[in-house]
């Protein structure tokens, strides 16, 4: 069964990946509608060898659309998702707009695909950092029950959009050329050759001292795993990497599970690839995860400071599994 599909935010960082993944996975697209802001309207994008013209997003853009993939920011989703639902579309939203709404499923298909069936017109795609973490945590939780998670992220600048990538590249070139006084537009401090313990880059910090990104990981993990007893604490950091988020994750479990058992467990987990051969210095790297669909995990070892602890190094392409691919997997389940 082929369906009419709309991509909202088609010209953004995730939009291109939407088209590439829809094509590579042979998603049954009958009609494709590319939607973006007025300034992007008229641009050409290719899908399955055909040039498509980007249209301006309006309240009338969804007539005849069955699946709408949104990745244009929370404010756009809040405004236009209701129009899409009113037109009969099911929306898969990549923003934070609806993630924590009680009546909106927050879905990672490898973890909680059954939640899709209770949607009322919109299904939320989790935060990119949360997605790659829970894909790895779920198999462990099912066997040993996770009590506590401590995660530090090392997130690529593409998570902040194409303009952030451009700023990193230009600032890096400026520093290498020996120039001073580079004018930043997005990041509060130099991102080239530096790390920033602040995500997002503006209005990040909450009254509890955490950033909004960190609290997304805390709250979304509990909702996706359907277990509010899991204690989660996060520190999210922006690093000068173009594509691919990395995470250092410490897990405390109720039941003892060895590193060898975790490796065997994750080796058979859907969407997970284990790369863990420290004798040959093999472990997941952002540059190798870029462009790949799986979540990669390595440096699996027991935490010797507690009775039931495991350390993990988790890496994934933030624009694919962390955004576009996860949304399209949800759409495939809808069909």
C-alpha dihedral (110, 114, 119, 125), degrees to nearest 10: -10
| Per-residue pLDDT at 1 exceeds 90 | no
Q: What percentage of residues in the chain have a pLDDT greater than 90?
A: 99
State the pLDDT confidence band at 259, using cuts at 50, 70 and 90. very high
State the pLDDT confidence band at 206, using cuts at 50, 70 and 90. very high
One DSSP character per residue, 189-204 reads S--TT--BS-SSSSS-
- The reply to whether 130-317 shares the fold of 3-126+323-334 is no
Residues 249-269: what's their mean pLDDT?
Answer: 98
Spelled out in words, what is the top-level CATH class assigned to the domain 130-317? alpha beta
In this predicted model, what pLDDT tens digit does every residue of 158-189 receive, in sequence order? 999 999 999 999 999 999 999 988 999 999 99
**Would you say domain 3-126+323-334 falls under CATH 3.40.50.2300?**
no
Counted residue by residue, the chain has a size of 335
Q: What percentage of residues in the chain have a pLDDT greater than 70?
A: 100
One DSSP character per residue, 94-139 reads -SSSSTT-TTS-B--HHHHGGGGGG-SSEEEPPPHHHHHHHHHHHH
User: What is residue 117's predicted lDDT score, i.e. its pLDDT?
Assistant: 95
Domain ranges of the chain: 3-126+323-334, 130-317
Output the CA–CA distances (angstroms, integers) from residue 226 to 105, 107, 142, 219, 297, in the order listed.
11, 11, 12, 11, 23
Distance of alpha carbon 192 from alpha carbon 188, whole angstroms: 12
Distance of alpha carbon 147 from alpha carbon 223, whole angstroms: 15
Distance of alpha carbon 206 from alpha carbon 195, whole angstroms: 20
User: What is residue 72's predicted lDDT score, i.e. its pLDDT?
Assistant: 95
In this predicted model, what pLDDT tens digit does every residue of 109-159 receive, in sequence order? 999 999 999 999 999 999 999 999 999 999 999 999 999 999 999 999 999
User: What is residue 104's predicted lDDT score, i.e. its pLDDT?
Assistant: 98
Q: Which residues are catalytic?
A: 128, 245
User: What is residue 263's predicted lDDT score, i.e. its pLDDT?
Assistant: 98
């Amino acid at each position: 069964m082929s369906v009419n599909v709309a991509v909202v935010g088609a010209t953004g960082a995730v939009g291109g990946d939407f088209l590439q993944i829809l094509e590579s996975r042979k998603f049954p697209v009958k009609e494709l509608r590319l939607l973006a802001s007025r300034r992007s309207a008229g641009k050409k994008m290719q899908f399955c060898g055909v040039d498509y013209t980007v249209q301006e997003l309006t309240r009338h853009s969804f007539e005849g659309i069955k699946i709408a993939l949104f990745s244009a920011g929370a404010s756009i989703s809040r405004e236009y998702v209701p129009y899409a639902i009113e037109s009969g579309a099911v929306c898969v939203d990549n923003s934070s707009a609806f993630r924590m709404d009680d009546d909106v499923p927050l879905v990672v298909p490898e973890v909680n695909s059954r939640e899709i069936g209770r949607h009322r017109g919109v299904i939320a795609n989790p935060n990119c950092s949360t997605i790659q973490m829970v894909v790895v945590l779920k198999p462990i939780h099912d066997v040993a029950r996770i009590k506590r998670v401590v995660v530090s992220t090392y997130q690529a600048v593409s998570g902040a959009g194409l303009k952030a990538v451009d700023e990193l590249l230009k600032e890096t070139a400026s520093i290498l050329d020996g120039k001073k006084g580079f004018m930043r537009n997005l990041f509060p401090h130099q991102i080239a050759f530096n790390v920033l313990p602040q995500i997002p880059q503006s209005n990040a910090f909450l009254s509890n001292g955490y950033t909004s990104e960190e609290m997304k990981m805390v709250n979304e993990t509990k909702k996706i795993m359907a277990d509010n007893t899991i204690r989660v604490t996060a520190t999210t950091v922006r690093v000068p990497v173009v594509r691919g988020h990395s995470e250092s994750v410490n897990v405390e479990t109720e039941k003892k599970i060895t590193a060898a058992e975790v490796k065997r467990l994750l080796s058979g987990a859907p969407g997970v690839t284990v790369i863990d051969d420290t004798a040959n210095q093999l472990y997941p790297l952002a540059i190798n995860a870029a462009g790949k669909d799986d979540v990669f995990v390595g440096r699996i070892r027991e935490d010797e400071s507690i009775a039931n602890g495991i350390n993990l190094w988790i890496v994934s392409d933030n624009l694919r599994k962390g955004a576009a691919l996860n949304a399209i997997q949800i759409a495939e389940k809808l069909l």
